[in-house]
Amino acid sequence: MIADFVIVGAGSAGCALAYRLSEAGASVLIIEHGGSDIGPFIQMPAALSYPMNMGRYDWGYYSEPEPHLNGRRLACPRGKVIGGSSSINGMVYVRGHALDFDHWESVGATGWGFADVLPYFKRMESWEDGGHGGDAAWRGSGGPLHVTRGPRQNPLYAAFVEAGKQAGYPLTDDYNGHQQEGFGPMEQTVWQGRRWSAANAYLRPALKRDNCRLVRGLACRVVLEDGRAVGVEIERKGSRQIVRARREVVLAASSINSPKLLMLSGIGPAAHLRDHGIEVRADRPGVGANLQDHLEIYLQMAASQPITLFKHWNIWGKAWIGAQWMLGKSGLGASNQFESAAFIRSRAGVKYPDIQYHFLPMAVRYDGQAAAEGHGFQAHVGPMRSASRGSVTLHSAAPEAAPVIRFNYMSQPQDWEDFRTCIRLTREIFAQPAFAPFVKHEIQPGAALRSDAELDGFIADNVESAYHPCGTCRMGRADDPDAVVDPQGRVIGVVGLRVADSSIFPRITNGNINAPSIMVGEKMSDHLLERTPLARANDQMWVNPAWQVAQR
């Protein structure tokens, strides 16, 4: 139970770390509390609503009652399984915008600008355009992570993109390439009909090496001796054991569990730790602060033609899809069904997209509940850069206790204005001629809801998390009192301890966060190995030349 590097969490970043560190010849032990990802519910892309709602695979976290959302407690699924949240997510692949990473650098994350991170996105990718175009020069071709596009056979996928064009928005062949802004195909971490999670991409190849091992257990605390992390205490088979690190300990346990583990180890806000009887080893007030997420609403339309996925939403349809997938990893089961997307700006004066769309040719919730009206389709839409901030704190000093999660959603007046804008812009898109053959009426919010107050009521009752929590161990300058880690991921005030997952994001990126989470693991592996980072890129992403004066 000793290795050069001990990684807590076999999730998106942890698997990438294990792969790169073991590839370099270092010995690695990965601690993971969850179990196997083998089985159709995880591996079949179209079954994505199942694993994130199964206690076997999910930590089952919920937010505290949200004061601005009528006291609702929102689900916060986190993967408790090999592959972490990459094994239970929607498999959508979005790098983020160049200006997201340039912002990281501007607030103290030196070496994490877009020019620095683009080479790591390329290193991790094995990209295929599927005949739909794209920016090959911007993409990677030999990495472990397969990124593909769905077949886009349903006519509603094309209608969504054409409606965006008719509404005056640009089109983009590749939102992960030169131009994010616009309407076009969506990308997914699916390969040969299977979910291509971090477990499939990184962990399984790493575990084939003699110097990489997986240890099942619940991480209880980081073991510190004279201000240095020397190992991790775990609970395994009913007893406590210590897994020791010769070189460093790395927390890659998620933006919920990494700050929790730091606080259980005496690293965090001093007064809060003392309240729970925990000896303060490093007073870092930023641990657990800066919690961010994306919220979205599902704007649903009833369809006038029976062409949506609802025709398969019965026991026989699901059995046929399952049989096709089991026999040949083909058919509807082989895609997450998010095959068209858009990134737009909410208003003039916004420099780069701050609204994201996922389009789905069915009206259904993430928990698998279909709209009562049958055939329909929907756009998931929400703002990308809310100023609302929340926190993760301890409920108790018991390692098995769930933390207290307060997102503080919709706490800024701008949040409400942004969401009303999202609804109105989406209605305009669905009113374009491209959708005329397919639209029957609006299911939700419902065409009768028009005023600010009516829309605000709908938002408060219906907005949902997009499941992108991040930011709780913020990366910044070593002299920043609110930063938790420095730009090399080192926990400030402790030797031999790093954090490498979405918790280090200074600010949430533009889009789904799985791709940048994996990138963090890729880049942090070079810091751990004391290697010179990959050479900076010179590519410049497109910014709408009229952004100061026009919304589109």
For 1-133+188-291+469-533, which CATH superfamily applies? Answer: FAD/NAD(P)-binding domain (3.50.50.60)
Does the annotation flag 91 for ligand binding?
A: yes
Q: Is the dihedral of CA 210, 491, 121, 468 positive or negative?
A: positive
- Could you report the per-residue pLDDT of 518-529, keeping only the tens digit for each? 999 999 999 999
For 325, other C-beta atoms within 10 Å of its C-beta total: 22
3-state secondary structure of 346: coil
Tell me if domain 1-133+188-291+469-533 and domain 151-185+295-383+411-462 are identical in fold: no
Known catalytic membership, residue 103: no
Distance separating alpha carbons of residues 505 and 471, to the nearest angstrom? 5
Local structure of 47: helix, strand or coil = helix
- Residue 497's region, left for phi above 0, alpha for psi from -120 to 50, else beta, is beta
The active-site residue, picked from 97, 146, 358, 468, is 468
Q: Which two tokens stand for residue 538?
A: 């010179």
| Measured distance CA(492)–CA(262) in Å, rounded | 12
CA 472, 19, 187, 307 torsion-angle sign: negative
Q: Tokens 């005056």 correspond to what residue? A: 168
Cβ atoms within 10 Å of 238's Cβ, excluding its own: 5
Q: Write the CB contacts of 472 (distance below 8 Å, at least 6 apart in sequence).
A: 255, 256, 258, 259, 287, 288, 289, 290, 291, 391, 392, 484, 503
Residues 6+ apart with CB under 8 A from 231: 2, 6, 222, 223, 242, 243, 244, 245, 249
Strand partners, 76: 61
| For residue 51, cis peptide bond before it (omega within 30 degrees of 0) | no
94 annotated as belonging to a binding site for a ligand:
no
- 546 burial (CB, 10 Å; 0-12 / 13-18 / 19+) is exposed
Gyration radius from the chain CA atoms? 22
Residues paired with 239 in a beta bridge: 236
Type of residue found at 383: P
Q: Which two tokens stand for residue 387?
A: 């100023």
Q: Looking at residue 24, what is its pLDDT?
A: 98
Q: Residue 92 CA to chain centroid, in angstroms?
A: 9
Q: Comparing C-alpha atoms, which of 31, 29, 484 is closest to residue 246?
A: 29
User: Is 89 marked as binding a ligand?
Assistant: yes
Contact 243, 2 (CB under 8 A): yes
Q: How far apart are CA 136 and CA 94, in angstroms?
A: 16
Residue labelled with tokens 């730009």: 487
Residue 313 CB neighbour total at 10 angstroms: 16
DSSP string, 86-125: GGTS--B-----HHHHHHHHHTT-TT-SHHHHHHHHHHHE
Q: How far apart are the first and last CA of the chain?
A: 57
Report the candidate in 464, 444, 466, 465 with the shortest Cα–Cα distance to residue 455: 444
Task: From residue 170, give the alpha-carbon distance in Å to each of 174, 345, 474, 480.
Answer: 12, 11, 34, 40
pLDDT of residue 370: 73
C-beta pairs of 97-104 under 8 Å, 24+ apart in sequence: 97/180, 97/343, 97/352, 97/353, 97/509, 97/510, 97/511, 97/541, 98/540, 98/541, 99/351, 99/352, 99/541, 99/543, 100/507, 100/509, 100/510, 101/509, 103/506, 103/507, 104/475, 104/505, 104/506, 104/507
Which residue matches tokens 């971090």? 198
In the chain, where are the structural domains located? Answer: 1-133+188-291+469-533, 151-185+295-383+411-462
Contact by Cβ (8 Å): 29, 249: no
By residue count, the chain amounts to 552
Separation between Cα atoms, residue 258 and residue 256, nearest integer Å: 6
Residue 156 CA: distances (Å) to CA of 300, 306, 435: 13, 11, 8
Is 76 within 8 Å of 63 (Cβ atoms)? yes
Q: Using CA of residue 320, residue 326, residue 331, residue 332, what is the dihedral sign?
A: positive
Asked if 254 and 11 count as a contact pair (C-beta separation under 8 A), the reply is yes
Is 410 annotated to bind a ligand? Reply is no
Residues with pLDDT less than 50, the chain: none
Q: Which CATH number fits domain 151-185+295-383+411-462: 2.40.50.140, 3.40.50.720, 3.30.410.40, 3.90.180.10?
A: 3.30.410.40
With both helix axes pointing from N to C terminus, report the angle between 114-124 and 98-106 in degrees, rounded to the nearest 10: 130
pTM, to two decimals: 0.98
Region label for 152, one of left (φ > 0), alpha (ψ between -120 and 50) or beta (otherwise): left
Q: How far apart are CA 445 and CA 439, in angstroms?
A: 15
CA–CA separation, 512 and 12 (whole Å): 13
Q: What is the amino acid identity at position 134?
A: G
Q: Find all residues with CB under 8 Å of 276, minimum gap 6, and list them.
A: 263, 394, 396, 397
So what's the pLDDT on residue 255?
Answer: 98
Is position 382 annotated in a ligand binding site?
no
The per-residue pLDDT for 371 is: 74
Give 378's strand partners: 300, 360
Between 413-430 and 155-166, two packed helices, what is the crossing angle to 10 degrees? 110
Sole residue written with tokens 């790493």: 206
